[in-house]
Every structure is written in structure tokens, then in C-alpha cells.
Chain A
Amino acid sequence: DAMVIQNPRYQVTQFGKPVTLSCSQTLNHNVMYWYQQKSSQAPKLLFHYYDKDFNNEADTPDNFQSRRPNTSFCFLDIRSPGLGDAAMYLCATSRDRDRAEVQFFGPGTRLTVL
């Protein structure tokens, strides 16, 4: 089945220790998104890739970086995690920019910062 896969599902890191979350998709979609979601809140878009074109949200901290080496994979790097970065990180895809209304989400990675 075509899907969005995120690894790991749970990640524990120490304060200030870099961490990388990964996302892969078999949908062959052009657009990939990274969201941060805290408890009882809406998903907050961090950035998205349209093909290889990277688009950062204005309020995304510099501490968050992303890479998309090919169509299928996208990575979220948190350079120096703080306690406030503990959250669920969701990867999503859409077929194209003009189909952003319909997004397919991965199961998420829950990040704990000690």
C-alpha cells in the first residue's frame, strides 16, 4: 500500500543533543511537509518542500532544519533540542501544491527531550 512512513515512532534525546527524524513516502507526491504538534493543539507547519524547492515558515526557529535528498525521503534535523521542542512531529505529503487541501500524514514521531 502507498503510504507515508516515519522513523522512529518514539525518540528520546537529551537537551542540546542533535536529533534527526526521517520520513519516507511511496506515494510519489511532489510536496512534503513537516508539522510540529503539541498536546491538544493544531498541527503547526514548520516547512515544506515542493519538489526540491524548500519553503520555510517565517516563525520556524533556526534550530530546525530539513533535507530532501530525493522525492521519497525527507529529514527533520533539530540541532539543539530544548525542552520546548518536545512534541509530536508529523510528516505529510500532497500530490502537488494545488492539492494541498488533501494531505496524507505519517504516524508521527513523538520526541521527548530530557
Chain B
Amino acid sequence: GQSLEQPSEVTAVEGAIVQINCTYQTSGFYGLSWYQQHDGGAPTFLSYNALDGLEETGRFSSFLSRSDSYGYLLLQELQMKDSASYFCAVRPNSGYSTLTFGKGTMLLVSP
């Protein structure tokens, strides 16, 4: 089976850097994805790590370490609009290979 653990809530101030961790227990998967969801909105794809290491997209970076069963999303130069829920997700390499989501981390950015 698959299990992904994320902190339920993280708070930070504008301009700061925040890291949202995702630890997982899964027998095997293709890669780690991150999605952003604003309150009342739909999830939006942010990034995907198929291989170990860091992927950077503007202010957002994502990291994966398969040996440590761990990944994170790093948000730099935080803005108020970054207040949202962030979900990590994996696609197991068995069965129909659909996404399994973590429970999500609510990020609250204050002035």
C-alpha cells in the first residue's frame, strides 16, 4: 500500500522561505508530484520529481530522495497568494497507477 505523511499546517510570513515535507511508505512508485489548491478552488499541478534531486520552477522547488523515502516542496519569497493547501502525491508502479494524494498541508502566509 501507499502512505504519505505531510504536516497539517505550516505558517510563515511574507518574503520568507518555507519547506513542506512529505514522507512516504510505498512499495514502489514512479515519482513524486506536488499540487496547490486554493480554498474553494481546484488542485493545480506544481512540479514532478521522477528522479532524486532538486527541480526548480521559479520561486518553487521540489526535492526527492528515494533512499530516505522523503521529499519536500520549497517555496521562496513567500507571497500572500501562496496561502493554500499543498498536496504531495505518488503514482505507484503497480495496479492502474493512478495518483495517491497525501492529506495536504495548509500554508498560511501572514503579512
Contact = CB atoms under 8 A, between A and B. Distances in A.
Interface size class of A (residues with CB under 8 A): 20 to 34
Interface stretch (A13-21, A68-76, A102-110): A102-110
B44 A105 contact: yes
B99 A45 contact: yes
A99 B90 CA distance: 12
Interface stretch (B14-22, B51-59, B69-77, B101-109): B101-109
A42 B45 contact: no
Interface centre among B30, B41, B91, by most A CB within 10 Å? B91
Interface in A74-103: 90, 92, 97-98, 100-103
B60 interface: no
Contacts of A92: 43
B33 interface: yes
Interface of B: 30-31, 33, 41-45, 48, 50, 87, 89, 91, 96-99, 101-104, 106
